[in-house]
Structure 1
Amino acid sequence: MTIQQDERLEALSGWLVETLKLTVEAVEPASSDASFRRYFRAYSNGMSFIVMDAPPSRENVRPFIRVAALLRNAGVQAPEIIATDEERGFLLLTDFGTRSYLDALNAASADRLYEDALDALALMQSGVDIETSGLPPYDERLLGVELDLFRDWFLGLLLGLALDPSDSEVFDDLKQRLIASALEQPRVCVHRDYHSRNLMVTERLNPGVLDFQDAVIGPVTYDLVSLLRDCYISWPPSMVEVWMIDHYTRLCETGVLDSVDLDLFRRWFDLMGMQRHLKAIGIFARLKLRDGKPGYLKDIPRTMNYVTEICRRYPEFAGFLSFLDNRVLPRMSLDKVT
C-alpha cells in the first residue's frame, strides 16, 4: 500500500466517524478490482457496510451513483447508496456479503444461479429506458478502441508480436465484421462486465450486482455472452446453448426482440463474444504491464479458447484463425501465457 493510499484510508475512516457519525469497530479490505477503485468493509453496531474509495484523479463516482439508481428502479439488486462524498470519491454502500458467483458455482448450483442471473439480466434489459437513461452509446468508436486493446497490449506489448501488412489486413477485416454485427443488434442497457466475479449470492433478490459504473446502451447479446462465456469459469457448450436459448425466448416474449431468428441471434451472440474476449485479453495484458497485476494472465488461455472455437465455427474467420494458430498461440506457449 502506498503512502497516498494510506492517506486516503485515513481520510475515509475519518469520513465514516466524523462526518457520518458511525461507531466503527473495524475497517478491513473487502476487494479491489481491475480499476483504481478499492473497497473496504466497515463494521458498525453489529452491521457491515461496503465503503468505496475511488480517487477523484483516477475515478468518477457519479456514473456509479447514476447507474445504481437505474438498476434498482428496474428491479435489479444493485447496492443501496447510503452516503456519498463525491468530491473525495467516497461512497457508503449496503453489503452483499463475501460469496461471489465464482465462489458458489458448481455443477449442482449452476442452473439455479444462472436462472437468477438471467432473470436479473432480463429486468435490466427491459426495465431501463434507453432513451431517457442518459447512458452513453456503445458505438463504433468504442467497439473499435476495445478491439485495439488486443492488438496493442496483448500482441504488441505482451507478446512482442508486430503485425505485417497481411496480418493487419486480417485484423482490420475481423474488426469490421465484429463491429457490424454488434451495431445491427437491438439496443438495451449493457452492464459491460456481467460475470461471475461481479455477481454476489444473496438470500433475497439474488444476485447482488456490482461493478456496473461503465454501463452503456448497446448490443442485446453483450451481457449474455459475458455471463455464459465467462472469462473466469467455463461450461460445456451444450449447457451454454440451453441457457442462451432460454434467454432468447424470454427476450422474444418481453418484446425486447422483435422477429429475430434464433440462428441470427446465435451468430450475434458468438461474434459479440469474440469482441468481448479479444478486448478482455488486451485488458489482462494491460493489467500486467501497466498496473502490475499479473494474476489475470492465467485467464487468457480460457478466454483465447472461446475465440478460437468461434473462429472454427465461421468460415469468414479462417484467416484470423490461421494467424492465431501460426503466430499467436506458439508465442503464448513460449511466453508461458498458458
Structure 2
Amino acid sequence: MDQRQDILAQWAADQIEQLYQHSIPAQMVTVSGDASFRRYFRIIYSENGVHKHWIAVDAPPEHENSRQFVDIANVWSNAGVKVPSVLAFDEAQGFMLLEDFGDVLLHPELTADAADGLYKSSIDSLIELQQIARTDNIPAYDRKLLDCEMALFSDWLCEKHLGLMLSCDEKLMLNQVFETLANSALAQPQVMVHRDYHSRNLMVCKANPPLHDKDFIGIIDFQDAVYGPLTYDLVSLLKDCYIQWPREQVLAWLAYFKAKSAQITDINEDQLVRDFDLMGMQRHLKAAGIFARLSIRDGKHGYLNDVPRTCEYIMQTARIYPEFAAFTEWLESVFLPALNKEKMA
C-alpha cells in the first residue's frame, strides 16, 4: 500500500472500533477507482458468525469536494433516496467511511430478461430523487455550465484528440447547435439532477436490515448534483454511454416514466421525446469530450472505447430533427471519417 492508503486504513479501523466496538486490522481490499481522483476500498469484519463490511474512500481534498458529497448524502437519505450512509468523515484528510452497497453494478445485470424490471426500478428511484427540493448547496444547471460542457466536444475530442482544425464556419455551426440544445434544456421543468445516473453508478442491492428491508437500486457518485432539466438523468440512464438499447425500447421506458412522474402532467408525449432527445445530444457531446480529456490529460485511455457508441447517439438524434441538417452533414463528411481513421490507427 502507498502511504496515503496506509493512513486511510488505520483511520477507518479506528472509526469502526469507535462505532461498532470491532477491533480489526488496518487492512483494506481495493474496490475501484473512477474517472475522478477518488479511490474506494472495502473493509471486512468476520468473527464469531458476525459478518460486516464497509467502504473506505480516499478523496484527496485538493481535488475532490467531499463536503458536498456528505451534505448531499445526508439530505437525500433523509428524503428516502437510497444512497450510502456516511458513517464517518474527515474533511481535512479527504477520508470517508460509507455503508457498503456491495459489488453488483447495474450494468452487468442488464440482460435481455432482466433489463425491463431493472430499468423500471431505476426510473422509480429517479422519480423519488426528482421530488427532492433544491437546497442551497446545489448549483443551477445554467447556460454557462451547459455551454462549457458542450465545448468539451470541440476542444478535446475534435481538436486535441482527432486533430481537426475547425474553420470559423464550422465553429459557428457548432455554436448554433449548442445554443439550440441549451435553450431546450433550460426550457424544461427543473428538478434535482444526479448528473451521472447511469449503469455504472447504480447498484443492485440486497436487503440489509435494519437499514433496508427489501432489495433496491442504490445510487452512488452523486457529489456533482445540480438543479436542472427534467430529462437529464433519464438520458444518462436510457441512452447510457456504456450500453445501448433499441429506440423503441428506450421510448417504452420513457413512456413508463411519463406515466409515473408527477412532474410532467402538462408535457405531451411528442414534447417529452424531443426534450429527451435534445438533452441526449447535449450530454453525449459532453461525454465524448470528457472521454477524450480523460485519455489526453489523465492517461485513462480505456474510456476511448466508449467514444464511438456515444457519438453514434449524437448522429442518430441529429438525423431525426431537420434543424440539425447542417450538423448531420458535417458529422457524416468530416467528423466520422476522422473518428474512424483514429480507430484504425
TM-score (norm 1): 0.94
Within a 5 Å distance, the mapping from 1:63-212 to structure 2 comes to 63-126=68-131, 128-130=132-134, 132=135, 134-203=137-206, 204-212=214-222
Q: Cα distance, 1:13 vs. partner?
A: 1.2
Mean alpha-carbon deviation: is it higher for 23-32 or for 306-315?
Answer: 23-32
From the superposition, tell whether residues 185 and 337 of structure 1 become closer, same or farther in structure 2 (CA, over 3 Å): farther
SS at match of 1:201: strand
Q: Partner letter of residue 295 of structure 2?
A: K
Superposed CA deviations along residues 219-259 of structure 1, whole A, max 9, x for unmatched, are: 000000110000000111111010001101222xx2x1241
Q: For residue 267 of structure 1, what is the amino acid of its counterpart?
A: R
- Corresponding position of 2:267: 260
SS in 1 for 2:144: helix
Counterpart for residue 278 of structure 2: 271
Q: CA deviation at 1:205?
A: 4.5
8 A Cα contact 2:84 2:219, kept in partner: yes
CA RMSD of aligned residues (A): 1.5
Equivalent position amino acid for 1:232 in 2: Y
Aligned to 1:43: 44
Question: Could you tell me how far 1:25 is from its partner in structure 2?
Answer: 6.8
CA contact (8 A) 1:229 1:306 kept: yes
Structure 1 contact 25–44 (Cα < 8 Å) conserved = no
Q: Rate the CA distance shift 1:26–1:14 in 2: closer, same or farther, 3 A.
A: closer
C-alpha distance in 1 between matches for 2:16 and 2:93: 14
User: Does the 8 Å contact 2:205/2:215 carry over to 1?
Assistant: yes
Structure 1, unmatched stretches of 5+, are: none
Q: Which has the higher mean CA deviation after the structures are superposed, 108-117 or 71-80?
A: 71-80
Residue 36 of structure 2 aligns with an amino acid whose one-letter code is S
Alignment partners' CA distance in 1, 2:130 and 2:215: 17
Q: How many angstroms apart in 1 are the aligned matches of 2:109 and 2:289?
A: 27
Contact 1:154–1:286 (Cα < 8 Å) also in 2: yes
3-state SS, counterpart of residue 199 of structure 2: coil
Instruction: Choose the corresponding residue for 1:240, options 234, 250, 256.
Output: 250
**Is this contact kept in 1: 2:12–2:56, CA < 8 A?**
no
Task: Please name the residue that 1:298 is paired with.
Answer: 305
Q: Distance in 1 between matches of 2:67 and 2:161?
A: 33
* CA deviation map 1:112-170 (0-9, x unaligned): 101110110000011x112x353100000000000001111100110011110110111
Matched, 1:225 2:260: no
> Structure 1 86/25 Cα, relative in aligned 2: closer, same or farther at 3 Å?
closer
* Distance 1:205-1:188 versus aligned 2 partners, 3 A rule: farther
Is the partner of 2:343 in helix, strand or coil? coil
Describe the shift of the 1:337–1:198 C-alpha distance in structure 2 as closer, same or farther (beyond 3 A).
farther
Matched, 1:6 2:2: yes
Identity of aligned residues (%): 46
Gap change, CA 1:19 and 1:118, over 3 Å in 2: closer
1:18 to partner: Cα distance? 3.9
| Alpha-carbon distance between aligned partners in 2 of 1:20 and 1:95, rounded to the nearest angstrom | 13
Q: How many Å separate the matches in 1 of 2:171 and 2:101?
A: 45
Q: Is the 8 A contact 2:195 2:233 kept in 1?
A: yes
Following the alignment from structure 2 to structure 1, what is the Cα–Cα distance between the partners of residues 36 and 81? 23
Cα distance in 1 for partners of 2:313, 2:78 equals 34
Deviation, structure 1 residue 74: 2.5
- Name the structure 1 match of 2:210: none
What SS does structure 2 have at the residue aligned with 1:207? strand
Measure the CA separation in 2 of the matches of 1:98 and 1:178: 36
Whole-angstrom distance in 2 between the partners of 1:52 and 1:42: 11
Where 2:27 maps in the other structure, the secondary structure is strand
Determine if contact 1:77/1:205 at 8 Å carries over to the other structure. no
Residue 73 (structure 1) shift? 2.2
In structure 1, C-alpha distance between the alignment counterparts of 2:130 and 2:15, rounded to whole Å:
37
Query: Does residue 324 of the first structure (1) align with residue 327 of the second (2)?
Result: no
Per the normalisation by structure 2, the TM-score is 0.92
